[in-house]
Structures are given as structure tokens and as C-alpha cells.
Amino acid sequence: MIKPTEETHWRRSRRCSTGTCVEVARVAERVLVRDSKVSDGAILAFTRKEWDSFLAGVKDGEFRSV
């Protein structure tokens, strides 16, 4: 299990104006994702390969609703 530390640098999109966004951080070889509204809540951890595949899917429109 990867535990973020106080030094973990969480980032969110500049397009996030409502504060209800996801935040992303890199820790070691993992990409961490959390809900910005619940900063002490659950954290998802992905390998770099998994994260790159997710980003490619977003760019290709795989997750657009019809």
C-alpha cells in the first residue's frame, strides 16, 4: 500500500473552478488519484502504464457518454 506523505504534491486541473474535482499526485512509480472534496478519503493508485492507458482512452474519447 502506498501512503502519501506531507510532501506529496497533489495537483488539480486549472479548469477546476468549483473545487469538486479529482487531484493527482506521483509517488515513487505510482500515480495517485483522490477526490478533492475528501482529501483524507480513499486514494486510487495506478502504475505508470495503467495511467498512460487511461489518458490515451480519454484522448480517444472512450469515456464520452452518448
Domain coordinates in residue numbering, the chain? 22-59
pLDDT in tens, 13-40: 888 888 788 999 999 889 999 998 888 8
Q: Residue 8: what pLDDT?
A: 86
Which residue stretches of the chain are H helix?
Answer: 48-59
> Any idea which of 1-10, 13-22, 32-41, 49-58 has the lowest mean pLDDT?
1-10
At residue 60's C-alpha, the angle toward residues 31 and 54, to 5°, is 15
Going by C-alpha positions, the residue among 35, 34, 27, 32 that lies closest to residue 51 is 32
Confidence of residue 45 (pLDDT cuts 50, 70, 90): very high
CB neighbours (10 Å) of residue 31? 18
